[in-house]
Amino acid sequence: METLSYETVIDAPVQKVWDILWNPETYSEWTKYFGAGCVMKSDWKIGGKTYFLNAEGEGMVSTIDSMDEPNQIIFKHLGMVDKDGNEDTQSKEVMEWSGCFEKYFLIDFGGKTKLHTEVQVEKQWQDHMNTGFTKGLMLVKSLAEGVSPGSV
């Protein structure tokens, strides 16, 4: 398992960056680099259920391990979800990576926000995550700063 980290400083307050990360409309926008039509569905409860899904409704089932809105949120990935909504948290393939974390830290940096993210992934997903987070966080920055995202 690899731990990848990404960081950017955004000229916007912490709450605005948080809202862009997790608002359904802007979430689908910045996560398009992971796959078109991405959505996140969450009960926003520690220990509850959060789903990261593609346009076909397939993806990951996770839980919020800890949250201090708008300063940090840590997701723990538990398994996969198929397009029929069936959860797999027990197969051999899932057990190899189940329990890995995805972390977001938003730090007030004199009125700006330092956004630091970390994700644990299997080596074969490293390039996909690097592309998704690098381009995605550039788009979060553009949206928060009110810059046209067309250049991203």
Helix (H, G, I), strand (E, B) or coil at 26: helix
Domain interval for residue 61: 2-147
Q: In CATH, what number is assigned to the domain containing residue 108?
A: 3.30.530.20
Task: Look at residue 81 and tell me if it is in a domain.
Answer: yes
Instruction: For the chain, 152 residues long, give each residue's pLDDT as a single digit of tens.
Output: 899 999 999 999 999 999 999 999 999 999 999 988 999 999 999 999 999 999 999 999 999 999 999 999 999 999 999 999 999 999 999 998 989 999 999 999 899 999 999 999 988 889 999 999 999 999 999 999 997 655 44
Residues 6 or more apart whose Cβ sits within 8 Å of residue 79 = 60, 61, 87, 88, 89, 90, 91, 94, 98
Task: Look at residue 84 and tell me if it is in a domain.
Answer: yes
> In b/e form, how buried is each residue of 123-152, taking b as 16+ CB within 10 angstroms?
eeeeeebeebbeebbbbbbbbbeeeeeeeb
DSSP annotation of 23: S
Task: Look at residue 73 and tell me if it is in a domain.
Answer: yes
**How many structural domains are present in the chain?**
1
CA dihedral 52, 1, 115, 25 (to 10 degrees): -10
Task: Look at residue 80 and tell me if it is in a domain.
Answer: yes
Reading the block at residue 131, the tokens are 């592309």
